[in-house]
Amino acid sequence: MVQAAGVSKWFGDLVAVSDVSFSIGAGVTALLGPNGAGKSTMLRMMCGLAKPSNGSVTVLGKEPRSDVAVLGRIGMAPQQESLLDHLSGQEFVELAANLHHLQRPAESARQAIQTVELDPDDPRRLSTYSKGMRQRIKLAQAIVHDPLVIALDEPLTGLDPRQRREMISLFHRLGSEGKCVIVSSHVLDEVERFGSRVLVMAQGRLAAEGDFREIRNLMDDRPLRISIRTDQPRELAIALLDRGVISGCRLEGTDGVVVDTNDAAAFRRAVAPAAREQDASLRELRPLDDDLESVFRYLVAQ
């Protein structure tokens, strides 16, 4: 449904997206990457809001930048919080329905607003909406016309855990209805719940692509430094060395040890049995370089 072929986008000297190619079909696809990775720019090009400097983006075989008609099959919730604040939620979504030439715009808008669990009869202006409500009304305007391709830029920001669960289940429902749902996020754990297909972007490039579990394994294969707090750091470090799951260690104070591992999955499996064997109590396990930036830097280097 969505195809990018050798897409690059630069703004003056700044390269936002560099030679990215992929193909996305029906279902939920997560676009994962740290802030500034080029995710929003990529989504904007998919929706025709920006023109690629090089390469091409097609949606349902058409270029959204030049073919206005294809915008009728695309729904997008942009990242920015700003809305047409002088309108009510119903008016805002109804405007979208009108511009999509729906036959019963008021009714379609009500339905979309109810889908995202807001009240269509709420007369308040959008300027009074909370961050979570703004996110949901953006989603409502993106789905009001029942589009085939739905691009959502960081749609879970500002939602509470229950709302997140419900939104994710909505994404899955839309995906299972045969729609192409592309959801960008910079939160790794969030993406894990979106679905199986992931595109990882870092520094404007497509760093990895495929099933989330494969990506997770790739991430687990990288060298990782972990801080362990335990009452028996020396004994636990020796036990882990004996099991061959760490490549080095350094004691820190009386209750800490920092270990290096090349196999995070094996380490995770081994650490609890090793602690039990040494009768050591584990107080804290904290990856020292597990922030997204380092994960993505590693993936780019691969």
Partner 1 sequence: MNLAVYRVILRTQLSPARLLVLAGLSGVAILLAFTARASDDTVEVATRTIANFGINIFAAFIALALGSAALGNLVEDRTLVYLWLRPVSRHSIATAAMAAVVTVVVPILVVVMTVAAVITGVGELVAATAVATALAAFAYSGIFVALGLRFKRSLLIGLGYIAIWELLMSRLGDWFARLSIRSYPMSILSDATDVSMRLADRSTLASYIVPLAVGLAGLLYTSWSLTRTEID
**Which residues of the chain form contacts with partner 1 (CB under 8 A)?**
44, 47-51, 68-72, 74, 76, 78, 80, 82-84, 86-87, 92, 95-96, 98-101, 141
Amino acid at 272: A
Unique residue bearing structure tokens 């909505």:
170
Min CB(109)–partner 1 separation in Å: 12
Identity of the residue, 71 or 295, whose beta carbon is nearer to partner 1 in the bound complex? 71
Give, as one character, the DSSP assignment of residue 62: B
Report in angstroms how near the CB of residue 51 gets to partner 1 at its nearest.
7
Closest by CA to 35, choosing from 156, 160, 206, 203, is 203
Give a three-class secondary structure readout of 156-221. CCCCCHHHHHHHHHHHHHHHHCCCEEEEEECCHHHHHHHCCEEEEEECCEEEEEEEHHHHHHHHHC
Looking at the Cβ atoms of 83 and 237, the one nearer to partner 1 is 83
CB of 172 to partner 1, least distance (A): 24
Instruction: For partner 1, give the closer residue by CB, 72 or 158.
Output: 72
Q: How far apart are the first and last CA of the chain?
A: 28
Residue with Cβ nearer partner 1 (151 or 264):
151
In the complex, the smallest distance separating the C-beta of residue 117 from partner 1, rounded to whole angstroms, is: 21
Nearest distance, CB of residue 8 and partner 1, angstroms: 15
Question: Nearer Cβ to partner 1, position 47 or 280?
Answer: 47
- Minimum CB separation of residue 31 from partner 1 in Å reads 18
Contact status, residue 87 vs residue 94, Cβ threshold 8 Å:
no
The C-alpha atoms of residue 152 and residue 166 are separated, in whole angstroms, by 15
Shorter beta-carbon distance to partner 1: residue 78 or 233: 78
Shortest Cβ distance from residue 48 to partner 1 (Å)? 8
Burial of 225 (0-12, 13-18, 19+ CB in 10 A): middle
Q: Which two tokens stand for residue 15?
A: 């390269």
Which CB sits closer to partner 1, 123 or 161? 123
Contact 9, 17 (CB under 8 A): yes
Query: Quick check: 171 and 183 in contact, CB under 8 A?
Result: yes
